[in-house]
Structure 1
Amino acid sequence: MNKRVFANLALLLTAAIWGFGFVAQRVGAQYVGAFTFNGIRFGLGSLSLVPLILYMDSKRNKSTKKARDSSLVKSSAAPKSKRILKDTIIPGVLVGTVLYVAATLQQIGLSYTTAGKAGFITGLYMVLVPLFGIFLKHKITKNAWAGVATAVVGLYLLSVNEGFSIALGDLLVLVGAAFWAIHILTIDRFAKSVDPLKLSSLQFATCSILSITTALFTETITMDGLSGSLIPILYGGLLSVGVAYTLQVVAQQHAKPSHAAIILSMESVFGAIGGALLLSEKMSTRGLIGCGLILSGILISQLNFSWSKKKIKSVVE
């Protein structure tokens, strides 16, 4: 299977897990505060990757040892700690800090605005990714722009059900959308040079520490609340964080940032599906049309419309 196709499918699965995660977050919010929920679930996500990281490191060390024994080459271990700090820890902390800011702004904004507005405004990170990418000298194709425009219209029909106006909550969610875009571009910057598992675990740990620290000063944590939100927290930690964010990091090694943004926007569609199946929420005809437009946007972004004479000739023949 083509690496880019595999990456796109992995991103679609990520969007599905995140989409159904809205149900878990909605239920969990009834028992614990936003910072507590985020702190625990990101902590679980980080810890869930430790066994796999240790296994992969052990496997890698064995192969390295065999290579050294066969070549009789000894390498100095002195600069190893500096390399780990520069190449792994610093990128993980940076990405995790961006993740914390994005998640925090979104959660606080949701306290002052409707879910429909928040869904549309957060989805604007799809547009911001290619816009920010221009400043990073990323090349954006015409069909990617067309896909973004189509998907934004779809998100509007799916998420916005009332008059659109910019209030405090809307502004906070909008700034959060900018940080979600920065998060995607930051991962794209480090995904090709940093071990994806270690990058994932470190960003989760950073976000967890920052969230728990904030929760200790702003929220009341009780055992009743934690026990009532156990299942949502487990889903949010092991699937939404441990599995989905790792899939995102791995997939973005081979996916274009603009394409990744559009595919990940499908979480809104899966969120609507999860709400209908698990919370008995009904989707209007307007919402269904929005889902179709988002799917169309994804397909448009993936298609290549630049047909050369050689390609046309091969098709005709």
Structure 2
Amino acid sequence: MNKKFVSVIASAGLLLTAAIWGFAFVIVKDSLDYIGAVYMIAFRYSIAAIAMGLVFIKKWKLLDARYIRHALLTGVFLFIAYTTQTIGCDFTTAGKNAFLTTNYVILIPILLWIMYKDRPGWYVFVAALLSMTGIGFLALGAGDAVGLNRGDWLTLICSLFFAMHIVWTARYADQGDDTLFLTLLQFVVCAVLGWLSAPFFDGPVPVEGVQNPRVIVSMLYLGLLSTMLCFSLQNLGLKYVGSAISSVFLSFESVFGILFSTIVLHEAFTTRMFFGCLLIFSAVILAENGNKYSV
């Protein structure tokens, strides 16, 4: 098959991934009216783990003590990231939740600097400054309380744990772990942690909410599309397109998030917030691609 054609298809898959993830912020925001945040994570990752476990059933033969250790650490990072993101979405807008989440791109090189003494290029510091300025515009642009609210802070915490999840997953991949199998085990860890902690955060299982057809469709969307399918498309995109271009397409997750939240949820989107989102998006692109311009 023509390499250019494969690259175009993979690029389209990455853009589709960004769109699915962007719409997921709307799904989460809407579903929080019917089901608790942690139960949502439990259902989402149970569906993804079961489906992916069946698709890649032959990979279970790889399971050993090392994979369990690696999956527990990275799975905990992923669980905390999604928990703070999902709870945060209940206290802020879906659009702000989407844009603030993307700060993990800027945090990754900073974490690598702390861990491996690998000082990032000048562009990372410029991206961090752009991002902080953008966050300031978002905090002042909602028209209600001035400053970051509880949901915004939780989302920023979520971006840190997403960065930690990516850094350690990449580290274990470099050590020879099968990325897809490690991802599957991470889904299992998130599902188990979700079921164990949901009663403490959200109370009894929301039987009425779970029986709601709207919630059922939402959980299937989050589990099968936003989690299992998107992770697969992302992995294929990184293989056939390259990390630099892939990051540009995936960064549109935040753009789709604000677009869908404005259209579907009718969330307020002021001019000041637009400039804040533009600065954060520019920071993400610079952090991922600034190495081209460094000397």
Taking a change above 3 Å as real, the CA distance of residues 291 and 168 of structure 1, as seen in their structure-2 partners, is closer
What amino acid maps onto 1:150 in structure 2? L
Residue matched to 2:221: 235
Does the residue aligned with 1:243 lie in a helix, a strand or coil?
Answer: helix
- Structure 1 residues 161-170 or 187-196, which shifts more? 161-170
Q: 2:181 aligns with which of 189, 193, 198?
A: 198
Q: 2:41 aligns with which of 22, 38, 42?
A: 38
What amino acid maps onto 1:182 in structure 2? M
- Structure 1 residue 226 displacement after superposition: 0.9
Taking a change above 3 Å as real, the CA distance of residues 6 and 153 of structure 1, as seen in their structure-2 partners, is farther
Alignment pair present for 1:21 and 2:24: yes
- CA deviations over 1:192-242 (Å, ceiling 9, x no partner): 422222122111111011101212344222332013211111111111111
- Structure 1 residue 160 displacement after superposition: 5.1
Aligned 8 A contact 1:191 1:252 in 2: no
1:126 and 1:46 map into 2 onto residues whose CA distance is 26
Which blocks of at least 5 consecutive residues in structure 2 are unaligned?
none
Give TM-score, length-normalised by structure 2: 0.75
Aligned 8 A contact 1:153 1:290 in 2: yes
- Structure 1 residue 35 displacement after superposition: 1.2
1:11 and 1:151 map into 2 onto residues whose CA distance is 23
- Structure 1 residue 43 displacement after superposition: 0.9
Alignment pair present for 1:93 and 2:72: yes
Aligned 8 A contact 1:87 1:194 in 2: no
What amino acid maps onto 2:221 in structure 1? Y
Taking a change above 3 Å as real, the CA distance of residues 205 and 5 of structure 1, as seen in their structure-2 partners, is same
Residue matched to 2:126: 146
Taking a change above 3 Å as real, the CA distance of residues 110 and 284 of structure 1, as seen in their structure-2 partners, is closer
Aligned 8 A contact 2:99 2:277 in 1: no
Aligned 8 A contact 2:22 2:98 in 1: no
Does the residue aligned with 1:191 lie in a helix, a strand or coil?
Answer: helix
- Structure 1 residues 93-102 or 238-247, which shifts more? 238-247
1:288 and 1:170 map into 2 onto residues whose CA distance is 16
Aligned 8 A contact 2:44 2:223 in 1: yes
2:173 and 2:236 map into 1 onto residues whose CA distance is 7
- Structure 1 residue 292 displacement after superposition: 3.8
User: How many residues were matched structurally?
Assistant: 279
What amino acid maps onto 1:196 in structure 2? T
- CA deviations over 1:2-34 (Å, ceiling 9, x no partner): 999999876654433221101111121111111
Residue matched to 1:72: none
What amino acid maps onto 2:77 in structure 1? V
Taking a change above 3 Å as real, the CA distance of residues 36 and 88 of structure 1, as seen in their structure-2 partners, is same
- Structure 1 residues 102-111 or 272-281, which shifts more? 102-111
- CA deviations over 1:77-101 (Å, ceiling 9, x no partner): xxx97x7314533322221111112
- CA deviations over 1:234-253 (Å, ceiling 9, x no partner): 11111111122344456667
- CA deviations over 1:247-298 (Å, ceiling 9, x no partner): 4456667637xx95x8755433211111133334453333443444444445
Taking a change above 3 Å as real, the CA distance of residues 107 and 298 of structure 1, as seen in their structure-2 partners, is closer
Residue matched to 2:293: 305
Aligned 8 A contact 2:121 2:294 in 1: no
Residue matched to 2:208: 224
Aligned 8 A contact 2:98 2:253 in 1: no
1:91 and 1:249 map into 2 onto residues whose CA distance is 19
Aligned 8 A contact 2:102 2:284 in 1: no
Taking a change above 3 Å as real, the CA distance of residues 33 and 122 of structure 1, as seen in their structure-2 partners, is same
Give TM-score, length-normalised by structure 1: 0.71
1:54 and 1:119 map into 2 onto residues whose CA distance is 33
What amino acid maps onto 1:200 in structure 2? T
1:1-317 paired onto structure 2 within 5 Å: 13-54=16-57, 84-110=63-89, 113-115=91-93, 122-137=101-116, 138=118, 140-154=120-134, 156-157=136-137, 161-162=141-142, 165=147, 172-192=154-174, 193-217=176-200, 218-228=202-212, 229-248=215-234, 255=243, 266-281=252-267, 283-300=269-286, 301-302=288-289, 304-306=292-294
- Structure 1 residue 37 displacement after superposition: 0.8
Taking a change above 3 Å as real, the CA distance of residues 49 and 97 of structure 1, as seen in their structure-2 partners, is same
- Structure 1 residues 196-205 or 5-14, which shifts more? 5-14
Taking a change above 3 Å as real, the CA distance of residues 168 and 30 of structure 1, as seen in their structure-2 partners, is closer
- CA deviations over 1:150-184 (Å, ceiling 9, x no partner): 35544554565255546766654443332222112
